[in-house]
Amino acid sequence: MLIKIGKKSDLKESEVTPQSLFDQRRQFIKKAAGYSVAAATLSLPFSAMAALNLNPFQKENSSLSDELTARKHVVSYNNFYEFGTDKKDPAAHAGSLKTDPWSVTVAGECAKPGVYALEDLVKPHAFEERIYRLRCVEAWSMVIPWIGFPLADLIKQMQPTSKARYVEFTTLHDPQQMPGQKRSVLDWPYIEALRMDEAMNPLSLMAVGLYGEVLPNQNGAPLRLVLPWKYGFKSIKSIVKIRFSETQPRTTWNLSGPGEYGFYANVNPEVDHPRWSQSRERRIGEFRKRKTQMFNGYAEEVAHMYRGMNLKRNF
Amino acid sequence: MSFKWYLTWLFKPLLFVVCLLPAVLLGYDAYTDALGANPIEEISHITGDWSLRFLLITLTVSPLAILFHARWLNRFRRMLGLFCFFYVCLHLANYVVLDQYFDWPEIYKDIIKRPYISVGFAAFVLLIPLAITSVDKLVELMGKPRWLKLHQLVFVCAVLGVLHYLWVVKADILEPGIYGFILIVLMLFRVWHRRSQANVKV
């Protein structure tokens, strides 16, 4: 049993977890126990998965019925251009990605730079389950039960200096393992970044699993970011480098289309993509489109970070 | 039996069935829930792909007929062109019915505000007179020169169709690029052919 010392910013489970979900918790633990046995027999990199600290977390909006997106869709419909630009490509081609062993380089403005084995990087952190909405910039969305730990915990572990104003993340660049990188569709390697306060926000999640299992390769194994209030492309996958920086890093989609993909990329139904509307979205598995919510429904947790900013200009 | 008999009673029906296959497969996949996580998007991609393919195949017929001195090939052109229109109609119906669910204000906004939809819709509108005047009676009524002039519009449709595709992709322009390249080759062939014909006359 893991003991967590509550922070002021923590949401009380009783406040945020709907009864139905809370009731499912035991069922989930049973299921997860089965999964962790499977993980052990397959000798997957996360022996820590056995010690899952399950804390179903969901900021429920009463006007939404956020049913989980079927697992088969979550693992078969992916934008992960490193494996091809068709959404079926990642599931078909991500088998060539080797996630064990895996190491992450930590660099820049921090007290603990170095090359960390993935196990060492994640070991100090308690895993929890978080059910998040995912809104793609292409106007479709999913609801996914992730497993991971707060990005803030990882950042604190690295002890950033006072100069660290941004955090930059880099995806693996290896065309042998990632055949999509043989074509320069994007400027490889894929780079994403956050302002420090965004990275420290309690919603920012370092994910290592979904649906009670280790992340499938096509979903960004073995380590990815999940930022539910931003368009999906900000949630960078298969991370090999984390760098603390004083200046705003250049990010991949922003370089590819500066007028279309901003640094912030916050979900915003008021600001259309230059070529299509962002006011509605199709939830995978549903027929009719639904209205997109400001900050993807997470305004309460994140809106304060952008107060006073012109969100039309800083899209 | 003559070659003409085979053409009318064997090759043409066969071609008809082949051209219908993508639609049949699509229907089957839809029925068996094999269109993946986002079936409406998948239907849009498949019908859009086949619209452009049939348009380019149609435009390939006369160059082939010229190059291989096989004028009989031209007898397939109308059917191929009408199949292009058929897939365009499916593509549009999928957008109106499944994607937007008859949300006319939203559809109107799309056509006005979104360049890729504007050009796609323009291509559809321009294809309508071509499809209507494909009937023998109307060709006669219009007279061949006027009919030919009207049907030059197909090149405008093709350019708009490729633009429609090019402007919707996010970063990977390979496929629309291939369609565009084929279209340019087909148009250059016609320029070259017209020039060489003119030279012969001199």
Residues above pLDDT 70, as percent of chain A: 79
User: For the residues A158-175, what does the mean pLDDT come to?
Assistant: 98
Q: B171 and A73 in contact by Cβ < 8 A?
A: no
* pLDDT for position B198: 83
- Cα separation, B80 vs B61, in Å, equals 9
B100-133 confidence digits (pLDDT tens): 999 999 999 999 999 999 999 999 999 999 999 9
State the pairing for strand pair A166-171/A114-117.
unpaired
Domain ranges (residues) in chain A: 15-306
Helices (H), ranges, B68-135 = 77-93, 104-113, 115-132
Query: Which one of B35, B108, B114, B170 makes the best mutation probe of the A interface by having the most chain A beta carbons within 10 Å?
Result: B170
Closest Cβ–Cβ partner in A73, A85, A289 for B172: A85
The distance of Cα A84 from the centroid of its chain, to the nearest Å, equals 20
Instruction: Classify A100 as helix, strand or coil.
Output: coil
- Cα separation, A207 vs A221, in Å, equals 9
> Which amino acid is present at B122?
A
- Nearest C-alpha of chain A: how many angstroms from B38? 6
Contact indicator for A180, A281 with CB cutoff of 8 Å:
no
Residue B163 CA: distances (Å) to CA of A285, B84, B128, B187: 30, 17, 19, 16
* A83 has pLDDT over 80: yes
Give A113's pLDDT tier (boundaries 50, 70, 90).
Answer: very high
State the pairing for strand pair A205-210/A224-226.
antiparallel
* B176 has pLDDT over 50: yes
CA geometry: angle B61, B62, B66, nearest 5 deg: 120
Contact indicator for A58, A21 with CB cutoff of 8 Å:
yes
Q: B171 and A185 in contact by Cβ < 8 A?
A: yes
Q: At what angle do helices B12-31 and B77-93 cross, to 10 degrees?
A: 20
> Which amino acid is present at B52?
L
Tell me which residues of chain A have a C-beta less than 8 Å from any C-beta of chain B. Answer: 72-73, 76-77, 81, 85, 87-88, 138, 140, 183, 185-186, 256-257, 275-277, 282, 284-285, 287-289
Q: Of A33, A26, A34, A18, whose CA–CA distance to A68 is shortest?
A: A18
**Contact residues for B143 (Cβ-Cβ < 8 A; gap 6+):** none
* Closest chain B residue by Cα to residue A254: B171
**Contact residues for A252 (Cβ-Cβ < 8 A; gap 6+):** A186, A187, A190, A191, A192
| Both tokens assigned to A42 | 């397959």
Chain A within 8 Å of B197 (Cβ-Cβ)? no
Instruction: Classify A97 as helix, strand or coil.
Output: coil
Closest Cβ–Cβ partner in A88, A282, A287 for B36: A88
- Cα separation, A180 vs A182, in Å, equals 5
Q: B101 and A81 in contact by Cβ < 8 A?
A: no
* Closest chain A residue by Cα to residue B101: A288
**Contact residues for A199 (Cβ-Cβ < 8 A; gap 6+):** A151, A152, A155, A167
* Closest chain B residue by Cα to residue A140: B38
Residue of higher predicted confidence among B202 and A312: A312
Give B143's pLDDT tier (boundaries 50, 70, 90).
Answer: very high
Chain A within 8 Å of B168 (Cβ-Cβ)? yes
Which CATH fold would you assign to the domain A15-306?
Sulfite Oxidase; Chain A, domain 2 (3.90.420)
* pLDDT for position B3: 87
| Both tokens assigned to B38 | 């986002």
User: For the residues B168-173, what does the mean pLDDT come to?
Assistant: 92
Contact indicator for A143, A69 with CB cutoff of 8 Å:
yes
Q: B38 and A87 in contact by Cβ < 8 A?
A: yes
> Which amino acid is present at B4?
K
Residues in chain A with CB shorter than 8 Å from the CB of B167 are 275
Q: B38 and A284 in contact by Cβ < 8 A?
A: yes
- Nearest C-alpha of chain A: how many angstroms from B109? 10
Q: Which helix (H) or strand (E) holds A134?
A: strand A128-135
* pLDDT for position A24: 54
* pLDDT for position B2: 87
- Nearest C-alpha of chain B: how many angstroms from A285? 7
* B33 has pLDDT over 50: yes
- Cα separation, A60 vs A143, in Å, equals 12
Domain ranges (residues) in chain B: 48-201
Residues in chain A with CB shorter than 8 Å from the CB of B38 are 77, 87, 140, 282, 284
Chain A within 8 Å of B30 (Cβ-Cβ)? no
- Nearest C-alpha of chain A: how many angstroms from B36? 7
- Cα separation, B82 vs B21, in Å, equals 15
* A21 has pLDDT over 70: no
| Both tokens assigned to A40 | 């052990």
Contact indicator for A209, A222 with CB cutoff of 8 Å:
no
Residue A80 CA: distances (Å) to CA of A118, A197, A273: 21, 26, 20
| Both tokens assigned to A206 | 């370092």
Closest Cβ–Cβ partner in B37, B116, B172 for A275: B116
- Cα separation, B30 vs B24, in Å, equals 10
Q: At what angle do helices B77-93 and B39-67 cross, to 10 degrees?
A: 160
